[in-house]
Chain A
Amino acid sequence: MGAPADNQPCRSLRGAIRIEDAVKIYENDDGGLVAVDHCSFNCAAGEITMVVGPSGCGKTTLLNAIAGFHSLTSGTIYLDDELLCGPEKLQAKPGPDRIVVFQNGALFPWKTNIENVVFGPVAQGAMLPADARDKARSMLAGAGLAGIEDEYPGQISSGMRRRVEIVRALINDPKVLLLDEPYRALDALTKSVMHEALLQTCYRSRVTVFFITHDLEEAIFLGDQIEIMTSRPCRTKKRLKVDLPHPRDHTIVTSRRFRELMDETIDAVHEEAAKAFRLGEREG
């Protein structure tokens, strides 16, 4: 990924994910629902990998397997060459090295924003509460969220809630940030600003990002690499490296290279979307 921030010391990138031959079959009365069918791909450390596919194709299942919420039926997932889950150990253990930002937002409504942000460090005992608060305050300020620390999530807009949730994840210095269609419920105008904000955050922190979306424009704008998934059961249909230069801003969406990339991928995405539509897939 390009353009590191000037004051960021060069450090080795972490969070490379390697998925090998993942299969997930849900048991049900009809014998078994195959959600993921021999899926393999890699997410390079420090880069943003976008996973694009129609609703219900099984991409959230992959995210849940990486995060440790579900087990895999077979296959292996490695994080920085360490085994996360595999034949000997079917389910990973959730932890602060792979933090999820959820689709509908999972900020704890009964805690103020700053209490939410310090939740990780305080729960793990990694920082003293006072130090955690100071760090949280400065990280919130850096994300343009100063002034809302003592309010509750229910009092701020959903766009701001997403940003607070991302800060809540990043304060733990995770290896991987797992984003499950976080901007799905936002309007298009807010979304475009959120994208720029997310890129700024990524330039600063160099965290590896695994981002699920159904929006191809979002994928090309944000991503360094795109995995286009087939409809359920999911498998990689097409892989694409996005060679747009960093730092990117909203003007890049109308550039010729952007449109060329859209051209290359839109047919593949549309084909799978039509299949899912005919099958009547439910969102995960």
Chain B
Amino acid sequence: MEAPADHGHPRAGAPHSAIRRVRLELAVYRALDWLASPRPYLMLLGFALFLGFWWLSVEVWRLPRFSGMPGLTTIVREWLSPEPEFGLSLFTPDYYLHILTSLQRVIIAFGLATLLGVSLGLVMGWSDAAREYIFPGFEILRPIPALAWVPLAILMFTGTEAPVIFVTFLPAFFATTLNTMLGVRSIDTQYFRAAACLGASQGYVFRHIVLPGAMPFIFTGLEISMGLSWFSLVAGEMISGEYGLGYVIYTGYTMISYPTTVIGMITLGVVGYLSSAVIRLIGKLLMRWRARELGLEG
């Protein structure tokens, strides 16, 4: 008697073009389904309530603590005008210069933090000895806020860019290292045992068990550290920058052009959101196994 054969398996032997068409149809279906559900309208309602409250409290009712703030209509008019009163709008080239400067700094700092953080995290996660030597010192340095490093950064590095990037790099580095280390430690011992039974060398285990096994934690860490990068970048730019969104926000305050500050804040929010979304997307592409596993459970 034969073992039961799985002839009825749905995907056995389907051509690739058919699979791609099905995937496209599925994506379109999902998008239409989302539009037909209450979800996008609730999202818009959420935004509307927030913006509505802002408009009403500042410009219509003039509530006591809110009356000095820039109003929604002022901001929107300023942001969208070709000749902005306070100097910054969608039509001024300076606006994009500031965005790009900040973005460039974040990419460099985040890139360095990822490279060094993932490497150190993998080493500390895998080697007990390394962890014992390095972790105590690491944990003492970690709680020091980024801004406290600014004086040292200015002393250590020449120029204006390096200190800002350093201050941006630090919290991202600590977050990435910690998450990576925890990711390695979270891998079930059974996988290491199975690999040993199957004759894998330590190097093979590192490439094929440790690295992919820690990926979910690593990407969570990367999302967190992307947010931290923006956070500390703005703080660093306020102190030592010439361009950049942090600089815009701070000089808007000192030059009493508050609409510029708010425009800077909104831009920061949007760019920060987009960068986190990019990380999430990369994570989903690299960890298709997890997406499928979770998709089936959902």
Contact = CB atoms under 8 A, between A and B. Distances in A.
How large, as a class, is the contact surface on chain A?
Answer: 35 or more
B289 A110 contact: yes
A2 interface: no
What class of interface size applies to chain B in its complex with A?
35 or more
A261 interface: no
Contact of B197 (A99, A151, A247): A99
A100 B4 contact: no
B224 interface: no
Contacts of A94: 193, 196-197
From B198, B208, B212, residue with most partner A Cβ within 10 Å: B198
Interface stretch (A29-37, A47-55, A140-148, A219-227): A140-148
A94 B290 CA distance: 29
Contact of B201 (A123, A147, A201): A123
A71 B269 CA distance: 57
Most buried by A among B12, B195, B199: B199
Interface in A78-112: 94-96, 98-100, 102, 104, 106, 108-112
A155 B296 contact: yes
B193 A100 contact: yes
A4 interface: no
B128 interface: no
Interface in A154-173: 154-155, 160, 168-169, 172
A123 B205 CA distance: 9
Contact of B194 (A98, A100, A154, A155): A100
A67 B190 CA distance: 12
A106 B193 contact: yes
A197 B197 CA distance: 23
B191 A96 contact: no
B11 A104 contact: no
A197 B195 CA distance: 25
A142 to B, nearest CB: 8
A201 B11 CA distance: 25
B292 A148 contact: no
Contacts of A144: 2-6
Contacts of B4: 144, 193, 197
Nearest to B204: A123
A123 B197 contact: no
B112 interface: no
Interface string B207-219: 0110011010000
Given A119-B200, A168-B198, A148 B9 contact: yes
Interface of A: 67-69, 94-96, 98-100, 102, 104, 106, 108-112, 119-120, 123-124, 126, 143-148, 151-152, 154-155, 160, 168-169, 172, 193, 196-197, 200-201, 247, 249
6 contacts: A99-B197, A108-B208, A110-B287, A124-B200, A126-B199, A144-B6
Given A120-B199, A148-B6, 4 more contacts: A95-B199, A100-B193, A147-B13, A155-B292
